[in-house]
Structure 1
Amino acid sequence: MPRTPPPTRADFHAFRPIQTRWADNDEYGHMNNATYLSLFDTAISVWQMENGINIRGPEAIRFVVVENGCTYFSEVGFPDALTAGLRLTHLGRTSYRIEIALFKGDEDTASTLGFFVNVLTDPDGTPTPIPDALRALLSTILTE
């Protein structure tokens, strides 16, 4: 089965700079697998906060991750400066799928592509419809 090629910057709608840290590298000298998911989560959280989505405290929007994954195309690690590209590939009634690519330096081709499926829940953990204002904001990075 042929492998899907890595996406390019043109495939994404929002971008966040991300700096790797010394502690991100593992014994083999490349970035630890778990660190990729942490960087993806940070890029999503910062984008949400910058766009007025309250993700902390009692009034926070409560998205729960129900699935995630990562495809690796080329290595990154400390001291690489990265850019995270974000795009929504699905926006449902209570959930969305967001994809995050990490680009090394000024490279146009992604080194990695990750995804999270998030479900909006009420305080009891029950899925709840995404409000119209939040849906409109998420739509700004939706890939048609």
Structure 2
Amino acid sequence: MAERAQLRKRGEYRAWRAIATRWMDNDVYGHVNNVVYYSFFDTAVNAWLVEHGLLDIERGPLIGLVVETGCTYARPVAFPEEVQAGIVATKIGNSSVRYEIGLFVKGSPQPAAQGFFVHVYVDRATRRPAPLTPEWKAVLGKIAASTD
């Protein structure tokens, strides 16, 4: 078995979103089901993109397609706990971005989970990769990982 990767600390994330857990998120084992974590990731990143004027989900020329994803679970989360999702862009490419998301239970210094996904941005009509504009790269720079 491979050694478990070190999880990011709170201070390494650049943007935050509070997400309320719902009764239906719990599974028969009494904790939030693993697939719900991916919904939290999607909600945190896409809400940030919309709020910062990058993503117009109904009419924008670019849409993000998830091409890779993963998650490391550290501790269970259960309703009615509030999740605080931290976001950092760890790689901003020509037409793709790797986002890492840390999920913390409100008030906890340790992550409950850490995940990532890679969006490839494509033209809405053709579904072919499209380069990120300088505006996109500048805004994404606000949540880019520190290089020190």
The TM-score normalised by the length of structure 1 is: 0.95
| Partner residue, 2:6 | 5
- Deviation track 1:1-23 (CA, whole Å, cap 9, x = no partner) reads 43223221111011111110000
Amino acid at match of 1:127: P
Say which SS state the counterpart of residue 126 (structure 1) adopts. coil
Q: Aligned partners of 1:142 and 1:74: how far apart in 2? A: 26
Letter in 2 for 1:101: G
Residue in 2 that maps onto 1:54: 55
Aligned structure 1 segments of 4 or more residues deviating by more than 4 angstroms: none
Q: Aligned partners of 1:64 and 1:5: how far apart in 2?
A: 27
Give the paired residue count. Answer: 144
Matches of 1:59 and 1:12, distance apart in 2: 27
**Is the 2:98–2:117 contact (alpha carbons within 8 Å) kept by the matching residues of 1?**
yes
Structure 1 match to 2:68:
67
Alpha-carbon offset, residue 60 of structure 1: 4.8
State the secondary structure of the residue aligned to 1:93: coil
Partner of 2:127: 125
- Please give the alpha-carbon distance, in whole angstroms, between the structure 1 residues aligned to 2:126 and 2:37: 30
Equivalent pairs: percent with the same residue?
A: 39
**1:15-30 aligned within 5 A:** 15-30=16-31
Task: Note if 1:134 corresponds to 2:132.
Answer: no
In structure 2, give the amino acid aligned to 1:63: G
Cα RMSD between the aligned structures?
1.2
Equivalents in 1 of 2:138, 2:121: separation in Å?
Answer: 15
For structure 1, the residue ranges without an aligned partner over 5 or more in a row are: none
Matches within 5 A, 1:80-119: 80-119=81-120
Q: 1:83 to 1:60 in 2, by over 3 A?
A: farther
Q: Which residue of 1 aligns with 2:77?
A: 76
Write the distance in 2 (CA, Å) between the matches of 1:31 and 1:111. Answer: 11
2:36 aligned residue: 35
Q: Where do 5+ consecutive residues of structure 2 fail to align? A: none
8 A contact 1:68–1:114 mirrored in 2 = yes
